Structure 1
Amino acid sequence: MVEITSKELANAACKALADKRGRDIVTVYVREKTALCDYFVLASGSNPSQIRAMGERVEELISKEYNIDPTRTEGVRDGRWAVIDYGDVIVHIFNDDTRLFYHLERLWGDGENLEKYVDPDQD
């Protein structure tokens, strides 16, 4: 297994989500607020097919690049709210309505711990 920090793992997840045209990708640093994990990675997809593809891409990239498999996944096949748990990083992929309803940015973010992902490969 390749050594990787939780920040690097979160960035890899962001890259994978951007590869499948995920929208509004943010990381939320929550280590000082909960023992659950260090980071949440949040993203939106337009439809169930895209949400599935985004979840599959996250798992594929992190497995291939870092030989790390998630400890648990939920909802990837449903396409409304997918959760991919890597221990220190938990990835949430939502449809727009579900993301708006649960608004995890508001629940866990205080502005200082939110970071919007900017894809370095995009012009």
Structure 2
Amino acid sequence: MENLEIVKNLVDILEGLKAKNVEALDISQKSRDIKVLIIASFKTEDEVKLAASSFIEQAKALNLELVHKDGLTKGQWVVLDYGEILIEIFHEPLREKYNLEKLWKDGKNKLFEQVKVKAKKLAKSAKK
């Protein structure tokens, strides 16, 4: 499975869990180890904890190795390390406070836009 397809599947999982403002950033030029940073948020800490646990279970189907996880018990900021792909799930107020999108602004949202375009093309071809 190529990276764009994996990223699309991970974004789909988060959107299926009703995550807010899901962003997939290509940070390969800024980070030696991490190629993609996916950021999402939820309104409550309980939603963060439940969504993160559910995300981990659903991501197993993609045969990705979860290298490290942190923050599951507090529900404010959960980090899920899948090697070259890092997932950060925030409680909304904390996401606003740290504003990682601004920190990684050079990564822009190019990858997420590519994922959206690819998904639209697949949907159109499936209708034919």
TM-score with structure 2 length normalisation? 0.79
Q: Does 2:4 align with 1:7?
A: yes
* Aligned residue pair count: 117
Q: Does 2:43 align with 1:46?
A: yes
Q: Which residue of 1 aligns with 2:60?
A: 63
Q: Which residue of 1 aligns with 2:83?
A: 87
Give the unaligned 5+ runs of structure 1: none
Q: Which residue of 2 aligns with 1:105?
A: 101
Match of 2:32 among 16, 22, 35: 35
Give the unaligned 5+ runs of structure 2: 121-128
* Matches of 2:72 and 2:6, distance apart in 1: 19
Q: Does 2:19 align with 1:22?
A: yes
Match of 2:92 among 77, 96, 101: 96
Q: Which residue of 1 aligns with 2:68?
A: 72
Amino acid across the alignment from 1:90: L
TM-score with structure 1 length normalisation? 0.82
Which structure has more helix as a fraction of its residues?
2
Percent of counterpart pairs with the same letter?
21
* Matches of 1:59 and 1:32, distance apart in 2: 27
RMSD, aligned CA: 2.3
